[in-house]
Amino acid sequence: MRRARPCGAGASTRMEFLPFTRPSIDEATIAAVADVLRSGWITTGPKCRELEARLSDRYGGRPVRVANSATAAMEFALRIAGVGPGDEVITTPLSWVATANVVLTVGATPVFVDVDPRTRNLDLDALEAAVGPRTRAVIPVDLAGLPVDRDRLYAIARRHGLRVVEDAAQAMGSRWAGREIGTGGDLVSISFHPNKNLTTIEGGCLVLNSEDEARLFEKLRLQGVTRAPDGTMDCDVLGYKANLTDVAAAVGLGQLGQLDAFNARRARLARLYFDAIDPSLGLALPPRAFGPAAGDGPGESNWHMFQPLLPLARMSIGRAEFIERMKAQGIGVGVHYPAMHRFTLYRARGWRDGQFPHAERIGDSTVTLPLFPAMADDDVGRVARALAGVIAPVLDGAGA
Ligand SMILES: Cc1ncc(COP(=O)(O)O)c(C=O)c1O
């Protein structure tokens, strides 16, 4: 494990900067990348096929196809599901903006509903209430790796004949009722962005239902072209340029063997956070979703992120100043994410402040604390001390 350490002689109180995330790439993976670079075949090829096969094994034999982003994978999922102009897709405003952008890209209309303040994921009652005659699909998001209730979600989808495109970008290794996300469900999209629990630098995959869907995905990711063994080709659908490279796939293969260990490490760090953060600071901690073994209910997070909510109403500084003060203590803090219906692109489509009070409050007060596999146990204590040092003096009129 890489440990935080003093930086420079005589700087015993100054610690190395602790980012909110950092990928873990081991020497074997770096060597595997070098092998691909020397091999003479560096774009989509055997390594991508091997990664797809290994992912398919992980997801119970379901077909899996990789692309150069999960954004592309979700867009293809919507096209495979037949979603297009005139259709509505229900989703959460509390996600990375890709979740709704892909709906616009295929010419359909995103319909936002608020989140459940306890899980911070799509409120499933609000989802069902929002289903109308034009609703074609739903995109649930497992925010921070906490899975949406798959039993209720699919019961609603079945009742109303909806396709489900699971935005499981952040949920690789998360489980619902003991089953890993991706082993069941409809179309499941996972991201391999550098911040994610498994990275290919950039990249993503889609878990599909059939070889027919997989063939369409293959066409969509590369210009809509099909090649025949005799060297002839045809293009019968408008595709994109979204194929993954073998260099990236080699990174993913190296990561895949370590994923379960990475996620176990993340879970340990999350537990340490629950013990280390002083409750008197008034932070709202994320749900403790460690899985059925811990008696926490059927949802088991992969602890992609650890996100408390700041007690802003009790603080005399705002989030931006909080982040600056944490940075001055050597701690990186992220924001994932402000509620997206308030972005200009979505305001221009009629969405307004105040429509989704839970998503807005969470999006305004959420902060992402450092959590990544190579973090040392001691780093959690360091973050907890910095939180106390920054928040206690500005709480309840203590004076900034
Ligand atoms: C919830 C969510 N959806 C979609 C995406 C898009 O993934 P990618 O960056 O691989 O396109 C991300 C990536 O941050 C995400 O967090």
Nearest 10 degrees: CA dihedral of 364, 358, 272, 371? -50
Cα(185)–Cα(167) distance, integer angstroms? 12
Ligand 1 centre distance from Cα of residue 171 (Å): 11
Please state whether 362 falls in left (phi above 0), alpha (psi between -120 and 50) or beta.
Answer: alpha
Cα(192)–Cα(174) distance, integer angstroms? 15
Q: What H or E segment, with its residue span, contains residue 233? A: strand 233-235
Sequence-ordered list of residues with C-beta below 8 angstroms from that of 15, at least 6 positions apart, any chain: 4, 5, 6, 7, 330, 382
Please state whether 65 falls in left (phi above 0), alpha (psi between -120 and 50) or beta.
Answer: beta
- Write the DSSP string, 50-88: HHHHHHHHHTTT--EEEES-HHHHHHHHHHHTT--TT-E
Cα(305)–Cα(144) distance, integer angstroms? 5
* CA–CA distances in Å: residue 139 to residues 30, 53, 119, 157, 353: 35, 25, 16, 11, 22
Please state whether 143 falls in left (phi above 0), alpha (psi between -120 and 50) or beta.
Answer: beta
> SS3 helix, strand, coil % of the chain, rounded to 5?
40, 15, 45
Sequence-ordered list of residues with C-beta below 8 angstroms from that of 224, at least 6 positions apart, any chain: 235, 236, 237, 238, 239
- Where in the sequence numbering do the catalytic residues fall? 196
Token pair recorded at residue 7? 């930086």
Number of H helices, E strands in the chain: 13, 12
* CA–CA distances in Å: residue 102 to residues 43, 74, 108, 186: 25, 7, 9, 17
Ligand 1 centre distance from Cα of residue 203 (Å): 9
* pLDDT, position 15: 78
* pLDDT, position 10: 35
Of ligand 1's listed atoms, the one at least distance from the Cα of 202 is 10
Of ligand 1's listed atoms, the one at least distance from the Cα of 195 is 14
* pLDDT, position 399: 54
Q: Which residues pair with 222 in a beta bridge?
A: 241
Q: Is 96 a pocket residue for ligand 1 (Cβ < 6 Å)?
A: yes
How does DSSP classify residue 148? P
Q: For a substitution probing ligand 1, which of 101, 191, 304 has the most ligand atoms within 8 Å of its CB?
A: 191
Q: Is 68 a pocket residue for ligand 1 (Cβ < 6 Å)?
A: no
Would you mind telling me the total number of residues written for the chain in this entry?
400
Token pair recorded at residue 333? 């803090």
The Cβ of residue 58 has, within 10 Å, a number of other Cβ atoms equal to 18
Cα(251)–Cα(387) distance, integer angstroms? 35
| Cβ contact 32:253 at 8 Å | yes
Q: Is 69 a pocket residue for ligand 1 (Cβ < 6 Å)?
A: yes
Q: Is 114 a pocket residue for ligand 1 (Cβ < 6 Å)?
A: no
Q: What is the layout of strands, in order, in the sheet containing 135-139? A: 64-67, 204-207, 187-191, 163-167, 135-139, 88-91, 109-112
Q: For a substitution probing ligand 1, which of 68, 71, 115 has the most ligand atoms within 8 Å of its CB?
A: 71
71: burial class by Cβ within 10 Å (0-12, 13-18, 19+)? buried
Q: Is 204 a pocket residue for ligand 1 (Cβ < 6 Å)?
A: yes
Q: Is 368 a pocket residue for ligand 1 (Cβ < 6 Å)?
A: no
Q: Is 200 a pocket residue for ligand 1 (Cβ < 6 Å)?
A: no
How does DSSP classify residue 342? G
Ligand 1 centre distance from Cα of residue 205 (Å): 11
Query: If the chain, 400 residues long, is cut into consecutive pieces of 10 residues, what is the mean pLDDT of each piece?
Result: 39 75 98 98 98 98 98 98 98 98 98 96 98 98 97 97 98 96 98 98 98 98 96 97 98 98 98 98 92 75 98 98 98 98 98 98 98 98 98 84
